Amino acid sequence: MLNKYTTCFALPLLLSGCAAPLVGGIGAIGFSAVEDRGITGVASDQALRVKLNIELSDNLSDFTGIELTIYKGRVLFTGVVANKQIKTHAVNIAQNVVGVKEIIDRMNVNGEDSFSEYTRDSWMTTKLKAQLYVDEDIIAPNYLVKTFDKTIYIFGSAQTKEEMNLVLSYAFDITGVKNVVNLMELHKGE
């Protein structure tokens, strides 16, 4: 579990995105070891991301609007694509990639999303992550948060039902949230 000093150092980096250069380095390994899926689980999800990106780039003319969030083999598709055929094709491609356990398709077609809406979504994600890292009753590294189109998607492993409910409560309390999708698991043994 992270202590106050680790959290004070790492929290600003994680929330600002400055920890991204650490991916694959010691920082990523340290946080991966703390989270419930461990180093092996994080590495497996990263390998799956690479496989999916290769398949999508080989088989789609344009997949630049597609965003992937992967947690324990569960793939969340978000983003905006040019047409329904690209959306359908992307999902079909993913279904044939070894290691994909579930596909959650939340892509928009020809979205009218503006830069301010993406900024708002990013703010919602940052706000929830900050609340999770500040609350000592929550093991924040166990959660992966993605916001798209005012909907917050929460992957992770809660230690107890109370912890899960607390995470959901923080998400629903964020101003402007349209929906919260609970993709969390209850820790084994609960």
Domain ranges of the chain: 1-34, 47-109, 113-190
CA distances in angstroms from 16 to 12, 76, 127, listed in the order given: 6, 22, 11
Question: Taking 70 as the threshold, does the pLDDT of residue 13 lie above it?
Answer: no
Domain 47-109 and domain 113-190 have a common topology: yes
Global pTM?
A: 0.76
For CA atoms 89, 66, 107, 32, give the dihedral sign.
Answer: positive
Where does the pLDDT of residue 38 fall: very low under 50, low under 70, confident under 90, or very high at 90 and above?
confident
Q: In whole angstroms, what separates CA 183 from the centre of its chain? A: 10
Closest CA to 99 of 135, 51, 31, 28: 51
Question: Strand, coil or helix: what is 92?
Answer: helix
Helix, strand and coil percent figures for the chain, each rounded to 5 = 50, 20, 30
Residues 29 and 43: their CA atoms lie apart, in Å, by 9
Question: Taking 70 as the threshold, does the pLDDT of residue 114 lie above it?
Answer: no
Question: Taking 80 as the threshold, does the pLDDT of residue 73 lie above it?
Answer: yes
Higher pLDDT, 104 or 80: 104
Higher pLDDT, 24 or 162: 162
Place of tokens 């992966």: 144
Query: Which CATH fold topology does 47-109 show?
Result: Histidine-containing Protein; Chain: A; (3.30.1340)
Where does the pLDDT of residue 112 fall: very low under 50, low under 70, confident under 90, or very high at 90 and above?
low
The CATH number of the structural domain formed by 113-190 is 3.30.1340
